[in-house]
Every structure is written in C-alpha cells, then in structure tokens.
Amino acid sequence: MFEKFRKKSPWILHYNAGSCNGCDIEILASLAPKYDLERFGIINTGNPKQSDILLVTGPVTLKSRERLVELYSQMPEPKVVVAIGVCTCTGGVFRKMYNVKAGVDRYVPVDVYVPGCASSPDQIIDGVVQALAILEEKSKDIEKPKRLFGELTNNSIFTNRREMAKKIKHEKN
C-alpha cells in the first residue's frame, strides 16, 4: 500500500554539489506554476529520509562528494538519481580541475542524465518523468525480494559508506 502512495506522490531532494546556481534556478522554475512539475504529485523536500528522487546539480567538488554519498545512503529504497546539467553528468568544463574529478556517477549510481548548460525546465521535466517510470520499475523489484537482493549487491559499492570513505581517503593520498 505504502509503495502505491510513493509512486503516485514521489518526493524529490535537490542537492547542489558545487553548481553555479544556473541549473538550480531552472529546477525552481520547473517547480513554479508556469511549468508546474508539482502536477505529477511531486514535492521538493529537504529530508533525504522522505525522498524518492535525488536531483543533483553542479560538478561534484571534493568537499561536497562525502555529503552527496551520505544523503544518497539516507534515502530509502527504491530511489532514483537524476543528474541535471553537463557539469553533473561529466564534470563539464570543471572536469579534472584541482577540486573536481569527474561526473556524479563516480560517486552514486545515476539513472537519468539531463545535459545542458543550464538545463531548461522542459528538459528537467522530461528527466523527472523518466525518473518516475524508473521509480515505478524499481518499486516492482522491491516487491520481489530475490531481485531486490541482487540489486542491493550490485549497488553495494555505492551504498556502503565505509567503502566510499576508504575510496576517498585513497584518492587523497
């Protein structure tokens, strides 16, 4: 029953991982009445424990990556990650700078990529609609314990905070 409600009213968490704010403004525009992303039952929440979809903007800086992984690991399954903007997808012009290694998928598994600089509200809405379909598929998997076990095993490299901390420590050295 609870899964049914989640599919009908998914909540999003928006995390700025070092963005110039261009993509963040577009996300807010897409939530505002003109584009009305909220017509899909979506609410922008600040609590990862109540969120189903993580919207990430900006190149993931060395300072923000640990918080990103922490937020991702606090979100309940099933969850979907949407990378908004070329910076988030690949690192963009900041890739391989002193404070940016690469795109967000280096740290958390990404389900939908929305390129563009900045991504426009209609691109963002397209990405979120794709995310809703993926969330529904993942919810079906959750209902099948065997498949869920397989999925958690595949993603364990991202969800295990100790592993991630070790990886980050290794990169610093």
- Using DSSP's 3-state secondary structure scheme, residue 15 falls into strand
Q: Any contact of residue 19 with ligand SF4 (CB under 6 A)?
A: yes
Q: Which one of the spans 75-83, 86-94, 131-139, 140-148 is the region binding ligand SF4 (CB under 6 A)?
A: 86-94
Across 66-101, b (16+ Cβ under 10 Å) vs e yields: eebbebbeebeebbbbbbbbbbbbbbbebeeeeebb
In the bound state, the residue with its beta carbon closest to ligand SF4 is: 22
Where are the strands (E) in the chain, listed by range? 11-16, 43-45, 53-57, 80-84, 112-114
Of 122, 125, 83, 86, the residue nearest 104 (C-alpha): 83
Q: Any contact of residue 92 with ligand SF4 (CB under 6 A)?
A: yes
Identified binder of ligand SF4 from the candidate list 31, 82, 87, 124, rule CB under 6 A: 87
Residue number with CB closer to ligand SF4 (54 or 164): 54
The site string for ligand SF4 over 22-51 (x = CB under 6 A, - otherwise) reads xx----------------------------
* Residues near ligand SF4, by CB under 6 A: 19-20, 22-23, 57-58, 85-87, 92, 117-118
